[in-house]
Amino acid sequence: MSALLLALLLAQNYQAWPVGPRTSGMGGAATALGVGSGNTLYNPAALAFSTQSTVTLSGQVFGLEGVSLRGELGDTTSHTNVGIFVIPSNMSLEVHGLDFGPLRLSDRWGLAVSMVAPLSFAVKSTVANSDNSTTVYRDVTETTLTIYNSLSYRFSEELGFGVSIVAMYRDAATISIAQRDGADGYQSLTYLRTEHTLGHTLDFGGQWRPANGLRVGFATRLPLQNVVGFGSERGRVTSYDRATGAFTLAAVDRNLELKYELPFRFNFGLAYEQPRRFAVAADVAVFTPYTYLAARDVDTGQTLLTRRLLPVVNFALGAEVWLGPRPLRFGLFTDFSPTGAVTVDGASQRIDRYGATIGTSFERPMFHSDVGLLFAAGRLQALGYDLAHGTFAPVLADGLQWRLMLTYATVLDY
């Protein structure tokens, strides 16, 4: 029972979509090319070569996500669901050069506060199979607020460094309900899990931008350290056998002390740019193994789940070509899963995504707006329930997940 409930936890990839005004259209290749507060989540040194104080606002734009799974109920039927969600917003304030009376910072210094926050992220799905009188309902919601407090310094016209103090709050809930009402009996499973965690970490980065157009960037993020975390787990399984009249009930009720942690991240980027003519960029992001999520039962002290993830190497490629007064941008990126084989006591989801982006920019006096499209898809493996044979035994489901997004950002210069 406990293993089944823990298997309902979702494992997340590290970079589900690019964020940032310019780089969202270039596949997220921002370590060497990105400039300004909108790119500090890739490299805090992006502030060093920005010359104007800005406000960046990314609109809460809706996207579509579709999932087609075969074997989710232990049968050979393929079930398809399509949902709507909100793309993370990126709201940033950036200033250069401050006067505090006796203390004055030159414009070589850059300060920024950037908030990356999906106002809501929800996955709702209902799967029904009339042949076996079964229904599965799942509702997963998550809200994450990440704040980057960044400081940069430009040592010369070619070299700059930056550091970010990062804080993240995460609130998540999972509800799963499975029911089967057949001729031989009735089975029902209800599971509810809530999570609330707060953590912090540091980012460091640098950029080298010589006048010949070459761009080199590097960045590293230390593991996200858990500050506080709590949650609860509630589960009920009921079964009724019509032949014998036997009725059984199993329950799990726990208060949890949670730890939500992210791994080391190392970014390296190369780019070449001729301003307002063309640019090309390539990024490599390496994520090292690290404990992802642990839940400790406050009553017994037992660690319910400790997951150690696989090394992940992701890539991003981007290009920009100016056609008269307007740029046209293209990008490719990968979003590989940090989990291995899907098992009962491990991750309940594994997906390796491949994505593409396209975008452009509209310039106006005092501000410019960036718009783009993103499409990503990959093979999905997830845990299902063997309801086709009258049990709740976990089974492996296999299918396809795709995602289509519209990105939008406005950068105000002041």
With residue 123 as reference, give the H or E element that holds it: strand 121-129
Rg (CA), the chain: 24
pLDDT of residue 118: 62
pLDDT at 121: 59
Q: For residue 347, give the amino acid letter.
A: A
- Give the domain ranges of the chain: 2-413
Query: What share of residues in the chain are helix, strand, coil (percent, to 5)?
Result: 5, 65, 30
Q: Which pLDDT value is given to residue 124?
A: 67
Task: Supply the pLDDT for residue 60.
Answer: 55
Give the pairing type, strands 394-413 and 103-117.
unpaired
**Local confidence pLDDT in tens for the 414 residues of the chain:** 333 333 333 446 877 678 778 888 999 999 999 888 888 889 999 999 987 888 887 765 667 878 888 877 777 777 777 766 666 677 899 998 877 777 778 889 999 999 887 655 566 667 777 767 778 787 878 788 899 999 999 999 999 999 999 999 989 888 888 888 888 888 888 989 899 999 999 999 999 999 999 999 999 999 988 899 999 999 998 999 888 989 999 898 999 998 888 889 999 999 999 999 999 999 999 999 877 677 888 888 888 777 677 899 999 999 999 998 899 999 999 999 888 776 654 556 788 999 999 999 998 888 889 999 999 999 988 877 776 676 667 778 889 988 888 888 888 887
CA distance 195 to 233: 9
Report which of 392, 397, 395 is spatially closest to residue 180, judged by C-alpha positions: 392
User: How long is the chain?
Assistant: 414
* Closest residue by Cα to residue 335 from 319, 321, 349, 320: 349
DSSP 374-397: EEEEEEEEEEEE-GGGT---EEEE
Q: What are phi and psi of 324, to 5 degrees?
A: 70, -125
> Of 32, 10, 35, which is closest to residue 20 (Cα–Cα)?
35
Which value, to the nearest 10 degrees, does the dihedral of the CA atoms of residues 39, 40, 41, 42 take? 70
Per-residue pLDDT, 413: 83
**Phi/psi at 156 (5° precision):** -150, -175
Question: How many CB atoms within 10 Å of residue 367?
Answer: 15
Beta strands in 224-348 (DSSP E): 225-241, 247-260, 265-274, 278-287, 291-297, 303-308, 312-323, 326-335
Whole-number pLDDT of residue 31? 96
pLDDT given at position 17: 74
Distance of alpha carbon 20 from alpha carbon 361, whole angstroms? 13
Q: DSSP character for 155?
A: S
pLDDT of residue 6: 33
Beta pairing partners, 19: none
pTM of the prediction? Answer: 0.87
Is the CATH number of domain 2-413 1.10.1740.10?
no
